[in-house]
Amino acid sequence: MSSRHLPLSRRGVLLAGAAAGAALALAALPAHATARPFGRYGSPEHRRTPRTLYVDPHGRGDFSTVQAAVTAATGSGWTLVLAPGVYRETVAVDTTRTEATWIGATENPRDVVIVYDNAAGTPKPGGGTHGTTGSATTTVQADGFTARWITFANDWLRADHPDSTGTQAVALKVQGDRSAFHHCRFLGHQDTLYADSTALGVFARQYFAHCYVEGDVDFVFGRATAVYEGCHFRTLDRTDLAAAPYGFVLAPSTANANPYGYLVSRSRISSAAPDAAYKLARPWVPSSDTTARPSLVVRDSWLGPGIDAVAPYTNMSDAFPWQSQRFAEYRNSGPGAAITVPGNRPQLTAEQAGSATRETFLGDWTPWKEC
DSSP string, 161-173: -TT-S-----SEE
Residue 2's pLDDT band, with cuts at 50, 70 and 90, is very low
For the chain, where are the alpha helices, taking DSSP H only? Answer: 12-15, 31-35, 66-72, 131-134, 350-353, 358-362
pLDDT > 60? residue 25: no
What proportion of the chain, given as a percentage, has pLDDT over 70? 91
pLDDT > 90? residue 8: no
2 burial via Cβ count (<10 Å: 0-12, 13-18, 19+): exposed
Residue 5's pLDDT band, with cuts at 50, 70 and 90, is very low
Rounded Cα gap, residues 51 and 79, in angstroms? 6
Residue 311's pLDDT band, with cuts at 50, 70 and 90, is very high
pLDDT, one tens digit per residue, over 87-146 is 999 999 999 999 999 999 999 999 999 999 999 999 998 899 999 999 999 999 999 999
* Residue 155 falls in the annotated catalytic set: no
Residue 17's pLDDT band, with cuts at 50, 70 and 90, is very low
pLDDT at 292: 98
Nearest to residue 156, comparing CAs of 14, 278, 27? 14
Residue 30 to residues 33, 146, 359, Cα–Cα distance (Å): 5, 25, 38
Can you name the residues that pair with 194 across neighbouring β-strands? 173, 221
CB–CB of 81/41 below 8 Å? Answer: yes
DSSP structural state of residue 252: E
* Residue 218 falls in the annotated catalytic set: yes
pLDDT > 50? residue 369: yes
pLDDT at 16: 40
Catalytic residue from among 191, 196, 216, 308: 191
Rounded Cα gap, residues 115 and 138, in angstroms? 8
Catalytic residue from among 143, 155, 177, 218: 218
Residue 115 to residues 40, 213, 262, Cα–Cα distance (Å): 25, 14, 25
pLDDT at 34: 66
Residues near 227 by beta carbon (within 8 Å), at least 6 away in sequence: 206, 207, 208, 262, 263, 265, 358, 361, 362
pLDDT > 60? residue 153: yes
| Mean predicted lDDT score pLDDT of the chain | 92
Residues near 361 by beta carbon (within 8 Å), at least 6 away in sequence: 205, 225, 227, 260, 263
As a whole number, mean pLDDT of residues 227-256 equals 97
Residue 252 to residues 216, 276, 280, Cα–Cα distance (Å): 15, 21, 12
pLDDT at 37: 96
Which range is least confidently modeled, 17-21, 164-168, 207-211?
Answer: 17-21
As a whole number, mean pLDDT of residues 74-83 equals 98
pLDDT at 35: 75
CB–CB of 44/61 below 8 Å? Answer: yes
Rounded Cα gap, residues 48 and 52, in angstroms? 6
Residues near 304 by beta carbon (within 8 Å), at least 6 away in sequence: 268, 269, 270, 271, 334, 335, 336
pLDDT > 60? residue 9: no
pLDDT > 70? residue 223: yes
Q: Which of the two residues, 266 and 25, has the higher pLDDT score?
A: 266
Amino acid sitting at position 73:
A
Angle at CA of residue 68, ends 226 and 73, nearest 5°: 65
Q: Which of the two residues, 14 and 72, has the higher pLDDT score?
A: 72
Classified as helix, coil or strand, 238 is: coil
